[in-house]
Amino acid sequence: MILELRHLRSLQAIQQCGSLARAAEQLHLTQSALSHQIKTLENYYDTPLFLRSTKPLSLTPAGLKLLDLAHHVLPEVERVDGQLHRHAQGSTGRLYIAIECHACFEWLIPVLDRYRQHWPEVEIDIRLGLSFEPITALQRGEVDLVISSDRRPHKSLCFEPLFDYEARLVLTHDHPLAGKAYVLPQDLADQTLVTYPVERKRLDVFSRFLQPANVEPARTRQAELTAIILLLVSTLKGVAVLPDWVLRETMSQHRLTTRPLGEEGMHGTLYATVRETERTADYIQGFIKGAKNRLNADT
Amino acid sequence: MILELRHLRSLQAIQQCGSLARAAEQLHLTQSALSHQIKTLENYYDTPLFLRSTKPLSLTPAGLKLLDLAHHVLPEVERVDGQLHRHAQGSTGRLYIAIECHACFEWLIPVLDRYRQHWPEVEIDIRLGLSFEPITALQRGEVDLVISSDRRPHKSLCFEPLFDYEARLVLTHDHPLAGKAYVLPQDLADQTLVTYPVERKRLDVFSRFLQPANVEPARTRQAELTAIILLLVSTLKGVAVLPDWVLRETMSQHRLTTRPLGEEGMHGTLYATVRETERTADYIQGFIKGAKNRLNADT
DNA sequence: CACACAAAATGAGTAAACTTCATGTTATTC
DNA sequence: GAATAACATGAAGTTTACTCATTTTGTGTG
């Protein structure tokens, strides 16, 4: 198979111009070059592609077949070619986001809604519950941006801090622990703890608060959605640990309040991790900027 | 635009094989050649196309875009490429037939029905009432085969005789002229002549019979379909001139008979005209053979 | 952590393909 | 039938793609 796009482009030009000479000009080639090129094809297929003896020279059935192919194929090729060029400039691309924490939806969705207005061509998706580590998925090209709070440096990847947060205990106004200025691990030993349905090691409240003090809550409950967790906290008189960004408007509606974990509070930073090669792409930086400004995004 | 099908083929192989080395083997290239080729593309688009650091190496979003294009485009290209190769062998092609005489439908349709069974891939069409000469249309590649009874030799075209025919006068059994063994031009001077609706010069009865004797029929009627012409001959007690092949089974049904034109009868030959370049193609020869054997085709 | 192994990148030389230039051939026009 | 226009052809030059040899990178192992 010697057929190349070049041949299709030539045929299209020949058909358009009605003569080799003019087609060659349009293609920035010499007439001779075109003649040679077509002859190669004709030898390959062992059939003429156009009739030389008619005034606006016309294609043979074989030539028409190829022209037909050209009309199908070339526009698509040009579309993708253009996309890829813009892709490199960073004005378009794929943005598959992996998030480790369910709570991130609370700020992510509004941020993405806003982002899509500015970057309409970017292909967006959110991936939850990957079969392997998000970082691995990032390296394998299955996702393009990982949002998480831990930072395990890795070559070819880079971390962009988005914003700091504080994980706080959520409880009702009239909860016994509401009387304290801050809570300690052992305060939760007789409590019902409501969490997202993920492994314990991926929940800060266990890995950074309860397990170091070797404390186990009396009961645990799981719920996927933040709204349901808050509901359960209200109705079960349980407690939950959520990042501060979750707890703004919804708080007063549910007659809820928050307390720091430990005297100092439990603080963390949320990072966006991307591949080094794509870090500078405009559409990536655009997302990171939008995430940092999430507070303004609600307006 | 430097993108060529070769690049798409390479990307597809890389994706399939999961490594440059194996892909190169499959493409009958060296690993180095592939590496260079991809690098050229990556420089052109200014973005990597796949990640080298994963075990089964994986494509970047940009690479996936191209792969997607490859999956769309390559099968179509291969289909056409294959078709063209067979085309040269003559097992497939386009067969647009131009006919000058309406009566040809009578034998052409059954012949084509039979032909299509043997040459299912050939694209068939029948063109009537072209804006210019069928021969011109043939030279311009608008049609591929012309059926007509006159033979104006032209370079790059060739004529294949199909079969001889005799144009005979059609009339009812009880028509006054039925008493004669043959009719002369002046016999038609007081008759109603039913013809196909085409120019007189393209009707043999005028150009070869009436006009040389400077005779004009009393009345003329036109009808597109042979069946209608026969009907008019019956009901109007008119006459028509039709080739003998039309007049076989239908004759007795309409209580019609035929007489020769002139003492010798008016004979002609039907030719299939094709472009010299396509004459030897199997699918062309197949049609010509089928037309010659039209009598057997009805069985 | 060094080692070995596998796989991709690199660089220089070579072969192939494409293009150009000059010229020949063919078809059409007046 | 000469003139013109358009395509074909052949040889030479240039660009492009490929191969070979080698280096670099990444991966897995003792």
Strand D closer than 7 A to residue B299 Cβ = no
**Nearest nt (C1') from B50 Cα:** C8
Close Cβ partners of A27 (under 8 Å, ≥ 6 residues apart): A9, A10, A13, A34
Strand D closer than 7 A to residue A21 Cβ = yes
Distance (Å, rounded) from C-alpha A250 to C-alpha A231? 10
Q: Are A81 and B139 in contact (CB < 8 Å)?
A: no
Most confident listed range (A145-159, A270-284, B202-216): B202-216
* Inter-chain Cβ pairs, chain A and chain B, closer than 8 A: 119
Give pLDDT tens digits for A153-176.
Answer: 777 788 899 999 999 999 999 999
Give pLDDT tens digits for B210-220.
Answer: 999 999 999 99
Cβ(B136)–Cβ(B98) below 8 Å: no
Strand C closer than 7 A to residue B52 Cβ = yes
Among the partner residues A45, A61, A80, nearest to B69 by beta-carbon distance: A80
Give pLDDT tens digits for B256-278.
Answer: 899 999 999 999 999 999 887 78
Give the DSSP letter of residue B250.
H
Main-chain phi, psi angles of A232, to 5 degrees: -65, -40
Strand C closer than 7 A to residue B17 Cβ = no
Distance (Å, rounded) from C-alpha A143 to C-alpha A287? 15
Q: How far is B285 from chain A (nearest CA, A)?
A: 16
Give pLDDT tens digits for A56-110.
Answer: 778 888 888 888 889 989 999 998 998 888 887 778 888 999 988 888 888 999 9
Domains of chain B: 5-89 (1.10.10.10), 94-153+277-297 (3.40.190.10), 164-268 (3.40.190.10)
Q: Are B54 and A139 in contact (CB < 8 Å)?
A: yes
Q: Are B140 and A84 in contact (CB < 8 Å)?
A: no
Looking up tokens 């040269």, which residue turns up? B88
pLDDT tens string, chain B, 299 residues long: the values are 889 999 999 999 888 888 888 888 888 988 899 998 999 889 898 888 888 877 678 888 888 889 999 998 998 898 888 888 888 777 788 898 998 888 888 899 999 999 999 998 888 999 876 556 788 888 777 788 999 888 877 777 888 999 999 999 999 989 999 999 999 999 999 999 999 988 888 888 999 999 999 999 999 999 888 888 888 898 888 999 999 888 776 676 778 899 999 999 999 999 999 887 788 888 999 999 999 988 764 44
Q: How far is B85 from chain A (nearest CA, A)?
A: 6
Give pLDDT tens digits for A201-238.
Answer: 888 899 999 999 999 999 999 988 888 898 899 898 89
Residue B32, both tokens: 């180095």
